Structure 1
């Protein structure tokens, strides 16, 4: 069964181009020209991923992402026609998994989508040996089902947030560099001044730390990266 992608973008020509390209690469593609239409479509259907443009009429991409995250943890890749790093950081802070600046090569977009879906699809995860539930620093993690909880409360993380947290916990006591985390979650070399990993870590801390300003679980090792305590 082909994987289903929802594209939310008001550029009808781009929609048509991407639809043809992805269908030729064995994806099922659905389209929405407005944010509210995209949210309604997402609620009614079972999708594997969302491609979301920031510059939408009426309900912009940020508002649309906020609405999506109220009900869904699906991977979301955001498109932006502006080179402003602020747009990218805001999108990541709100739960986007990746971003791509317009204009772009459809092959790069496809490569990023495949990298994200390789980490999130059940069949891909089933190929990895199940390591069982992990308990560390008061956090429970089920790598196979991609679930995280603290006490009796389940914590909802985006795809990238889960991958970062799992990598840190599995390497507890060791420093993981930002370079390594970027390669892990995006499947490509990072840009020298790309701060998206820091943004994702900040979001994770807000969800799992008692005091995000004084983290006890995800520790910063200045000039190197991050470390999960060996507890």
Structure 2
């Protein structure tokens, strides 16, 4: 489904990720883990078109997309849940969700997607008329994920979903991502600092360190690797 080949990317011509190659298959849950500043978010921003690669290629469903604009990439079926959530604080929960469906013209489909989001996150249904800025951090993360689902994506990029959340909310959001992946068969590419939590639910994972992939394998294989245990799990 998604193939990133030999990607070098950064800001103002200065590279922060180097020769990164990753893939996500249809319906897969893949994690990119590593410490803060490793370049994980840069990879996602480049896939979603917010940044242009310095070198390398990105393919989605067999089509090269590394020169596409961000809105063109959304229309192809990739939705991005950014780090820090970035909900529209002055808008209601419902209007935030409807903003996620801006590429769709089918009102029946939009209504169905809205119901699916409210079924997945009942808390959002309870607060649908509240301003997004009044929600807790965990509720805003649910809203950001729900907004991505409203685009009816084939692949969701989720950037640091645990940032600023209490552990109980991290578990709830991870459970929601697992449900989206298993029940809706939406592929997920998760970028996360919480290495153990991410690899426990991922089909496969990549370890990114100082801008380079240093290990990859199944989630189980990486959790059992000495490199991951020593560098990220304190074992």
Q: TM-score, normalised by structure 2?
A: 0.31
Q: TM-score, normalised by structure 1?
A: 0.31
**Higher RCO (CA-CA < 8 Å; seq separation 6+):** 2
Identify the structure with the greater strand proportion.
2
